[in-house]
Amino acid sequence: MNSVLWVQFCKDKRNPLVILLFIAGSILATFLFAGGVYSPTTVAIFSEEENASEIETKWESLLNVDDSIQFEIVEPEEARTNVKDGNIDVAVMLMETDYRLVVTSELPSVSYVQQHVEKVFQREAQISAIVETQGEEDVRSEIENYLADAPFQLETQGTGSEQVPKYNLSTQLLFAFTFLISMFILGLKVNNVTNDKVSGIWDRMILSPMTKTNMYCGYVLDSFLITLFQIVVVLLMFKYVMNYEVGDNLWLVIMIAAFFTFSMISVAMLITGFIRTPEQFYAIYPSVIPLIPLISGAYMMPGTITNPILLFIADLFPMAHAMEAIMSVIFYNAGLQDVMMSLLFMLLIGVVAMGIGINLIERRSK
Amino acid sequence: MRSFIKKDLLIFWRDRKELATVLILPILLVLVLNFAFAGLFSNNEQSSLDLQLAVVNQDDVAEAMARLNEKLVNEASLGDQEAKALVEQANDIHPVQLLFDFLESEDLNDWVTVHKLEESVAVDKVKEGDLDAILIIPDGFTAESLYAAFVGESPATTLEYKLEKETSNSSALYSIIHGFIDHLNYQFAIQEIAGASEPAVKLPEGGFEKIGAGETFTMTQYFTVAMGALFALFLVATVATKTGVEIREQVFNRILLTNSHPMHFLIGKMVSTICLVLLQIIFVMIVSHFILDVFPDRSITFWIGLIAMVILLSLVLSGLAAVFTAISLRVNDIDAANGIFMLVILLFGIIGGNFVPIYILPNWLQQIGEWTPNGLFLVMLTDWIQFEELSSIVKPSILLTGIFLLFTMIGLALFPQRGKAK
């Protein structure tokens, strides 16, 4: 076993470029994507009335109330072309007391913008009506004063405690991308089995006194260690260098990652069981892998996917369980006891997939 | 040269399992994505939102007015008369009832189900995951809030929104309730300031101005095009890895013995890439069209344009295959090369917007993404699907041709001279 492990390490030592590139890629990808979530949507506003600039400045300050949507004044022509080309989803044409949303298609962001714009315009209509009837000028600040001490209040709490369960999509994406890349790395490593088979090394190992179990253990362990190394490096990097929120219980997170890695190696081994040459693996594996985080809902808020068939398919892969366990550890302070179920599921998937996979590989070689 | 093309196509034909994967998986993906995002991103009537809210009402509305009166007299030290007048006024306002009316209104009925429960039962159900969240109306809420409204102080009680985990459902419920409370407060503020006179409000009309040819670009179309392009990219990596097979199985050495011109080898790879990419994308588009009706009622011009663009993409990708093949012949460790090809394809796929929802990407990266062949193809097809205007696709077409020439030049430049291949 040690010799198999060692020979694989030596291959990487001689040619560390790919692994290093993948690790760098996973840090870079996470950094870019996880950071991008909070960039606000930009919505172009313009007016074609006579006193366009006046209207634009008036509504710009009124529309820009929070950070979620950013309204920017642009030329009418530019706004229309941008919407038409699909560079932006929606632009708002302003009139003195009315508006039109300029859109091409029913994108999800449109209704969100519509709600906000509608609210602002309705409120302004009410305010100006009051100003007209009463001749008061200070209505706006009066309303603000009143709302600062609003009579009806709403407060969020957790079910068990006062503390609000916080959730952060950035952190989830961090793990989604780290796991996505780690699935590729472990796939490349597991593919060494087929590689060594076609190059004849496998046959020479069979002739040696080494047992089959030792041979497989060597490959699995090698793949496991390299992948875990990648995950740990990325996590430490994000925790200590970039100060991301990855929870206080890092050991438990790493343990879940370890279970995930083992489980995914088994799935990769299962795929290896279906193919003959390493090239086939390169054709099939990368086409299947991107599916897994998608159906596991790793890119979206939990609860976004509700289709029972999809949920069932997602449960067959370790990623859904790993994400669930890690999210509950990070955001809801779950302990080992709470994530035990997910760990066992991953272990079960791992054992079953590994069993079938190795069986298929062995059958093929006869 | 014909024999080279035949050889490359035969390599794929021999490996029908792989060919089937490349053809069927993207269609599977399009279907899965459609299911996963159906209702989420479309403004359909049949929304898939199913929000379960428990409402725990601990407030006794019947007692509220007496409490309010008491509080007004004792704490705000108002005279009996004054307090009575205010209570009279308050009698018409039942915030709790308003809240229930709102939550059970027809607009919300389709996706919000309200369960009136005891707190302990509700907490259990939320923990089990049967319900999304709990709204608690605490004891004395009506009295305290109305008191606050009349006196202008902060209220002593607040509605409590309790949740077990933050999910898209519990956030949606929160924003619905929060929107209502916000609206209620605003109306109170308006009333307070406007006093008895009710000014006539001229509400904005709002509405949409649709531009473009009226054709909308649907999510299904996006998935179909994106997956087609993504798997075409994978195909390029597959073609490149076949070079490794040929070297290993001594095919390459046998080719050397035939004394064929080295370029024939490269051209064989490129032509087979063109054929396979064409086959693959057209297959994906046509099959998903028949299953999901992706491009309904489109003219023959539209389809011709579509095919022209696919041909352009296949040319560009054949250029990329040439680069990969040339690199494969130059490196010592073909495995490392394959790994790097995979990384390049992943990179293209991600920033071209084929892998992950493009909204995750920062804006500048989205712009870079439009320069990758698959990203450019996506942009071009988006234009074509919406407007069917020849003028709008001329520029990207020229760009794509440019990228094709660039890739081919790089491929030719890197391609080893006779006898230099490793």
Of B152, B212, B231, the CB nearest to A104: B212
* Closest-CA distance of chain B to residue A136, Å: 10
- Specify the 3-state DSSP secondary structure of A308: helix
Give the separation between CA B412 and CA B318, rounded to whole angstroms.
12
Q: Which range of residues forms the domain containing residue A267?
A: 2-36+167-365
Of B134, B167, B189, the CB nearest to A303: B167
Would residue A83 count as lying in a domain? yes
User: Where on the phi/psi map is residue A255: left (φ > 0), alpha (ψ -120 to 50), or beta?
Assistant: alpha
The pLDDT tens digits for B188-212 are 887 777 765 666 677 777 777 777 6
Give the pLDDT confidence score for residue A243 in this predicted structure. 78
Give the pLDDT confidence score for residue B405 in this predicted structure. 94
For the whole model, what pTM was predicted? 0.79
Let me know: does A222 contact A185? Beta carbons within 8 Å. no
Residues A100 and A77 in one domain: yes
User: Of the residues A148, A177, A208, which one is the last residue of a structural domain?
Assistant: A148
In the numeric block, the tokens 């390029």 are attached to: B236
- Specify the 3-state DSSP secondary structure of B209: strand
Range in A37-51, A172-186, B175-189, B354-368 with the lowest mean pLDDT: B354-368
Split into its structural domains, chain A has a count of: 2
CB contact under 8 A, B208 and A103: yes
In the numeric block, the tokens 């493009």 are attached to: B358
Q: Which of residues 116-145 of B touch A (CB under 8 A)?
A: 123, 126-127, 134, 145
Range in A82-86, B94-98, B143-147, B291-295 with the lowest mean pLDDT: A82-86
Residues A224 and A98 in one domain: no
For residue A261, pLDDT beyond 90: yes
- B228 to chain A: closest CA residue: A287
Let me know: does A360 contact A197? Beta carbons within 8 Å. no
A141 shares contact with chain B (CB less than 8 Å): no
- Give the residue with greater pLDDT, A36 vs A150: A150
Closest to A174 (Cα-Cα) out of A320, A316, A27: A27
Would residue A162 count as lying in a domain? no
Q: CATH number of the domain that A100 lies in? A: 3.40.190.10
C-alpha count within 13 angstroms, C-beta hemisphere, residue B396? 26
Closest to A6 (Cα-Cα) out of A265, A218, A208: A218
In the numeric block, the tokens 């038409």 are attached to: A84
Residues A112 and A30 in one domain: no
Let me know: does A100 contact A93? Beta carbons within 8 Å. yes
- Specify the 3-state DSSP secondary structure of A154: strand
ipTM given for this complex: 0.73
Task: Determine the average pLDDT of the residues in A304-328.
Answer: 86
Contacts of A151 in chain B (CB under 8 A): 145-146, 148-149, 155, 185, 188
Give the separation between CA B180 and CA B98, rounded to whole angstroms.
10
pLDDT band (50, 70, 90) for residue A262: very high
Give the pLDDT confidence score for residue B258 in this predicted structure. 87
Of B15, B188, B350, the CB nearest to A151: B188
Residues A177 and A89 in one domain: no
Phi, psi of B360, rounded to the nearest 5 degrees: -70, -30
User: Of the residues A148, A175, A196, which one is the last residue of a structural domain?
Assistant: A148
- Specify the 3-state DSSP secondary structure of A15: coil
Give the separation between CA B135 and CA B116, rounded to whole angstroms.
10
Residue type, B258: T
Give the separation between CA B199 and CA B285, rounded to whole angstroms.
58
The pLDDT tens digits for B358-406 are 655 666 777 788 788 888 888 888 888 877 778 878 888 899 999 999 9
Residues A180 and A287 in one domain: yes
Residues A226 and A333 in one domain: yes
Residues A66 and A28 in one domain: no
A32 shares contact with chain B (CB less than 8 Å): yes
Give the pLDDT confidence score for residue A34 in this predicted structure. 65
The pLDDT tens digits for B104-133 are 887 777 778 888 888 888 888 888 878 888
* Closest-CA distance of chain A to residue B287, Å: 18
B394 shares contact with chain A (CB less than 8 Å): no
CB contact under 8 A, B387 and A39: no
- B247 to chain A: closest CA residue: A199
Q: What is the DSSP string of B112-165?
A: EEEEE--HHHHHHHHHHTSSSEEEEE-TTHHHHHHHHHHHTS--S--EEEEESS
Q: In this complex, how many residue pairs, one in chain A and one in chain B, have their CB atoms less than 8 Å apart?
A: 293
Contacts of B32 in chain A (CB under 8 A): 291, 294-295, 310
Across chain B, mean pLDDT equals 81
Residues A28 and A50 in one domain: no
Residues A256 and A323 in one domain: yes
Across chain A, mean pLDDT equals 83
**DSSP H or E segment with residue A156:** strand A154-158
User: Of the residues A120, A148, A176, which one is the last residue of a structural domain?
Assistant: A148
**DSSP H or E segment with residue A93:** strand A90-94
Residues A82 and A16 in one domain: no
Closest to A86 (Cα-Cα) out of B390, B174, B381, B200: B381
Let me know: does A111 contact B158? Beta carbons within 8 Å. no
Give the pLDDT confidence score for residue B43 in this predicted structure. 43
Give the separation between CA A23 and CA A26, rounded to whole angstroms.
5
Give the sheet arrangement for strand A41-47, strand by strand: A69-73, A41-47, A90-94, A99-103, B208-210
Give the separation between CA B189 and CA A202, rounded to whole angstroms.
80
Let me know: does B51 contact B129? Beta carbons within 8 Å. no
Q: Which residues contact B382 (CB under 8 A, 6 or more apart)?
A: A86, B217, B222, B225
Kindly provide the residue ranges of all beta strands, DSSP E only, lying in B24-122, ordered along the sequence.
51-57, 112-116
Residue type, B199: P
Strands A99-103 and A154-158: unpaired
Residue type, B263: M
CATH 3.40.190 domain locations along chain B: 51-194
Contacts of B29 in chain A (CB under 8 A): 291
Residue type, B83: A
Range in A225-234, A269-278, B174-183, B357-366 with the lowest mean pLDDT: B357-366
CATH 3.40.50 matches B51-194: no
Q: Which of residues 91-120 of B touch A (CB under 8 A)?
A: 95
Would residue A258 count as lying in a domain? yes
